[in-house]
Each structure stands twice: as structure tokens, then as C-alpha cells.
Amino acid sequence: MTKHHRSNSAGGTTPTRALIVGSTALFTDMLVHGLAVPVLPLLPAVVEEGPAATGVLFSSYAVAMIIATLFAGRMVDRLGPKTPLLLGLVGLAVATMLFATGGPYWLLLVARLAQGLAGGMSWVAALSLIAATTPFEKRGQAMGIAMSTITLGVLIGPPVAGFLVDHYGTAAPFLLAAALALADGVLRVVLIDGSPKVSDDPGGPASVMRVPGSLSIVLAIVVGAGVLSGIEPVLPVHLGATAQTVGLLFGLASLTAMVANPVVGYLVPKVSSKVLVGGGVVAAAASLLVIGWASALWGVCIGMALLGASSALLLAPATTLISEQGLRSDPPTLGGAFALYNFAYAAGLAGGPMLTGVAVQQLGFSSAMAVTTGVLAIIGCASLFKLPNQGAGTISRD
């Protein structure tokens, strides 16, 4: 393995500043994503189009994010992360203002695509900024902190949106998002001095994907992201509840994930990854079945709590394992490892809503949850075959 040197924090951007800006960018993006969860499915323009169109609306964010990620990588290589960060900010501001109009459907779809493009730019640039200013030996820890802000944004977004909708109308969450984007932009301009580039991390996601076991990790991430995102477009309409109730339900899932994440993180080096991920697959399947057949709100609450636990069991080990895979790749790369994580996460965000939206429209809610359970269980079980095992500071394949 080649020796890695401290990255050049060009222009005076310190690792701390980079971590603040990068983490805030990720938090803002996922907060806006979370704000949309209890609002978009209940807008008249979306309800009129049906569950399948609602699934397309939610999936379009991730599809646009994947497309933007491909171009953002090249832009970061040529210009550094500051320009893509600012472009992402502009896209997010445009998206939030379009969402505030409330329709028609095609305009909301444009807004969702703009949000996804902005997210792709911001995610790649934020992680690249952290990688460019943080010593290689401390980069994994910094990346982990940044990725944890994603869960925080998802946690806060839905309940805040539900409260604002019930008290101030459907435009209120998106006006709040626009204000937060403005504050985020100030941080991006003030704290980033110059446009530092990574000089010691030349590998990309393709090199990490070639490491044995990476495909299994990718599949676990897809299931972890897909199971929660699949519920987002269909549950609000099925329940017929207020936006605040829907927001609190999704907040419950995210809160459970936040509480479970450190517990699972503690267990990662002590317990077989197959046990943790397998438990996540079981919890994900159980959650969808409980939600699909619950006849009372308390049953849905149990299902959402299981959903949050499944997210922690699937994604917490995957975050650790993917960084280890990056260190095993040739050349070693942490930036490429987390780029691969982003691709897998976005794939889950795209596939989950598309699957549930079409299934609900064709089969009804309960049957759709059963079908989705079967699909995710198959993918989840496939992820266990060559899943690397973390333990005692080393990785080995079972």
C-alpha cells in the first residue's frame, strides 16, 4: 500500500471549516428532502395523478442526483469543490421556490429534478471538500461525521413540515427551506477560501467496486435506502391523516434510526456483519408487513419504529465496511468509497418509490407492501453471500 500524505488545504480552508461546510450542505439537502415527505403526496396536483405518478415524483430526485453525480465528479476535478457547492445551492433555492407553488404536477416534477441535481452537486462537492482538506488517516472519521448529518436532516424534516403545513399552509415548509438554503450559502461562501483539490486519493468508485465483497455492501445500502423511501410517497395518502401526523410517523422512524445507529456502530467490530445486515433485512421485511396490514395507528407506529431500526442495522455496518473496502482498493481511496456509497444510496432512493408507487396503483396498499417486502428481501439476502466481515481492525470475507 502506498504511503499517504496530508492533503493540501489550499487557500487556507481548514479541515474543521471543510467539515462544517460539508456537513451543513448534506444536512440542508436531506432536511429539504425530509420537508417534502409529508407535503408532496397530499398536494391536490399530486393526488390527482395517482400513486404511480407520486412514486415517479419521489424517484425523480434520486435519478437526477445520480446523473448530477456523474458530472459533478468531473467538475470537482477541474474546478475544485467550491463552484459545484454554489451551483448546488442555486439549484436547491430554485427547487424550494417551485415547490412552494403547490403545482401543477409537471412543475413539481421539475422542482424535484432540480432538487436532485442540486443534491448530486452538493454531495459530491461536500465530500470532496472534506477529503481535500483532511489528512488521509483522519478522513474516514470525518466522512462518518458528515454522513451522520444526513440522518439528522431526515429526522427533523418530516415533523417540522407537518407542523408548518397544519398551522401555516403547504408553502410554509418550502419557504423555510429557502431561508435555510440562504444561510447555508453564506457558510459556503465565507468558510471556503479557495477551491482545494484532493491530491492523495486518486481512486474512484469503480476501483472500490472491484474489491471482493463490495457488491454485497452496495446491495445492503440499496435496501437500507429503498425501504424507507418506498414508504414516503404512498403512506400519507393511505392513512388519510394530517400532515403533522405523517411527519411525526416519519420522525419516529428517523429517531429510532438515530438511537440505534450508535448501538449498531458499537457492535460492528464485535458482531458478524452478516448477523447485523441479516437482522436489518428481517426488520425491514417485518416493518413493511406490519405497516401494510396495520388496522390502527399504533400498529403503523410499530412498523415505522422497525423501519428505523432496519435502517441502522443495514446502513451503519455498510458505512464502516465501505470505507474499509476503499482502503483495500488499488489505489486506496476513501473519496471513491463514499462516492460508491452515494450511488448505492441514490439507487435505493430511486427504486423504492417507483416500486411502491406502481404496486399500490395496481394491487392496493397491503398487497403492494407484501410485494415490496419480497423484492427487498431477495436483494437483502443476496447481499449476505459475500459480505465482508469487520472485526479486530481487519476485514476478511466469510
Please tell me the predicted confidence (pLDDT) of residue 397: 40
**Three-state DSSP string of the chain:** CCCCCCCCCHHHCCHHHHHHHHHHHHHHHHHHHHHHCCCHHHCHHHHCCCHHHHHHHHHHHHHHHHHHHHHHHHHHHHHCCHHHHHHHHHHHHHHHHHHCCCCCHHHHHHHHHHHHHHHHHHHHHHHHHHHHHCCHHHHHHHHHHHHHHHHHHHHHHHHHHHHHHHHHCCCHHHHHHHHHHHHHHHHHHHHCCCCCCCCCCCCCHHHHHCCCCHHHHHHHHHHHHHHHHHHCCCHHHHHCCCHHHHHHHHHHHHHHHHHHHHHHHHHCCCCCHHHHHHHHHHHHHHHHHHHHHCCCHHHHHHHHHHHHHHHHHHHHHHHHHHHHHHHHCCCCCCHHHHHHHHHHHHHHHHHHHHHHHHHHHHHCHHHHHHHHHHHHHHHHHHCCCCCEEEECCEEEEC
Q: How far from 217 is each of 96, 213, 372, 388, CA to CA, in Å?
A: 33, 7, 20, 8
pLDDT tens digits, 253-264: 888 888 888 888
For residue 398, pLDDT over 60 is answered with no
For residue 85, pLDDT over 90 is answered with no
For residue 366, pLDDT over 90 is answered with yes
Higher pLDDT, 221 or 191: 221
Is the pTM of the predicted complex or chain greater than 0.85? no
Query: Domain 13-397 in CATH: superfamily?
Result: MFS general substrate transporter like domains (1.20.1250.20)
pLDDT tens digits, 11-57: 467 888 888 888 888 888 888 888 888 888 888 999 999 999 999 99
Please tell me the predicted confidence (pLDDT) of residue 263: 85
Please tell me the predicted confidence (pLDDT) of residue 10: 42
pLDDT tens digits, 264-311: 878 888 888 899 999 999 999 999 999 999 989 999 999 999 999 998
Please tell me the predicted confidence (pLDDT) of residue 223: 93
For residue 242, pLDDT over 90 is answered with no
Domain ranges of the chain: 13-397
pLDDT tens digits, 100-132: 888 899 999 999 999 999 988 888 888 778 877
* Mean pLDDT rounded to a whole number for the chain: 84
Please tell me the predicted confidence (pLDDT) of residue 218: 94
Please tell me the predicted confidence (pLDDT) of residue 152: 79
Please tell me the predicted confidence (pLDDT) of residue 199: 57
